[in-house]
Amino acid sequence: MLKKVLIPLSIAAALGAGVFTYSSFQQNEPEKTAAAAVQTQKDLPVYETNGSYEVFSNVDDMEKKADLVVVATPKKAFDQRKHITTYFDGPNANEKYPENCFTITDMKVKKVLSSKTEAKKKDLDITVLEPVGIYKDNDGVNKKLRFEGYEEMSNSKDYILYLEENDKGNYNIVNIVDGKFEVKDTAKKADKDSYLSEHAELHSNLEKATKAKFKKQLAEFTE
């Protein structure tokens, strides 16, 4: 089913932005302006956007949608990855606002849990498009824009990912926030008003079901 939500008006006013769709993140060659890798400072101001995307309420449906289910970790820290932002012109001269904003994350696959194609091997390199990125605002300050409360993956952690391949050979995360889980359990409080704070029960249920489904394959990472 499609989840349709609107960007909060306060953020829309601040960004001058409209509603994003997850399809916005499915290309790694934006049609408009693109920014190369940027170095970002810690504690960036964070803005959140919402939009439309396909939602699954159980792991079997997520696995059917996914081309690949893996345990993987990013190769680089977030501020060393390539952040892509396209902009549209604002109502005032010299103003630009983010239209699409995502991060190209190169990852090392440590284990393939499920695959629609011929079994892929351990130590596979893949690229995931994360629905979070860095953009330069009109005040000249770098800021973070994330989709549905999505938090970027850390290169010090392993993740279980449900992935769908796009026509560029890169991967998008199925179910957005709910298609990504840390392998090791972590006590984590969701940001107020983020997707996870509203859908904590669904996320928890999907995480538990995923870890139960792949318990044997995950043993080497959890012992």
DSSP string for 44-79: --EEEE-EEEE--SSHHHHHHH-SEEEEEEESS-GG
pTM summary value: 0.80
For residues 165-175, average pLDDT: 91
pLDDT at 35 over 60: no
| Coil, strand or helix at 179 | helix
Q: How far apart are CA 94 and CA 123, in angstroms?
A: 46
Q: How far apart are CA 182 and CA 158, in angstroms?
A: 6
Residues 113-163 pLDDT 10s: 999 877 566 668 999 999 999 988 888 888 899 888 889 999 999 999 999
pLDDT of residue 37: 42
Residues 175-218 pLDDT 10s: 888 999 999 875 555 454 455 566 788 888 999 999 999 999 99
In this structure, the number of other CB atoms found within 10 A of the CB of residue 37 comes to 14
Q: What does the DSSP 8-state code read for residue 184?
A: S
Question: What amino acid is encoded at 44 in this protein?
Answer: L
Tokens 């994330």 belong to residue: 146
Strands (E) in the chain, as ranges, are 2-4, 20-21, 46-49, 51-54, 68-74, 82-89, 96-115, 125-130, 132-136, 142-147, 159-165, 171-173, 180-182
Q: How far apart are CA 105 and CA 102, in angstroms?
A: 9
Range in 12-16, 115-119, 167-171, 200-204 with the lowest mean pLDDT: 12-16
pLDDT band of residue 5 (cuts 50, 70, 90) is very low
Q: 138 lies in which domain range?
A: 2-222
Look at the chain and report how many structural domains it folds into: 1
Residues 109-119 as b or e (16 or more Cβ within 10 Å = b)? bbbbbbeeeee
pLDDT of residue 138: 87
In this structure, the number of other CB atoms found within 10 A of the CB of residue 29 comes to 7
* Token output for 101: 């904003």
Distance of CA 201 to the CA centre of its chain: 19
Residues 34/86, Cβ–Cβ less than 8 Å: yes
Tokens 């840390």 belong to residue: 182
pLDDT of residue 45: 86
pLDDT of residue 179: 94
Residues 44-71 pLDDT 10s: 888 888 777 888 999 999 999 999 999 9
pLDDT at 220 over 50: yes
Of residues 31 and 146, which shows the higher confidence score? Answer: 146
Q: How far apart are CA 23 and CA 131, in angstroms?
A: 10
pLDDT of residue 195: 55
pLDDT of residue 163: 95
pLDDT of residue 27: 44
Of residues 200 and 172, which shows the higher confidence score? Answer: 172
Percent of the chain scoring above 70 in pLDDT: 73
Q: What is the CA radius of gyration of the chain?
A: 17
pLDDT band of residue 31 (cuts 50, 70, 90) is very low
pLDDT of residue 198: 65
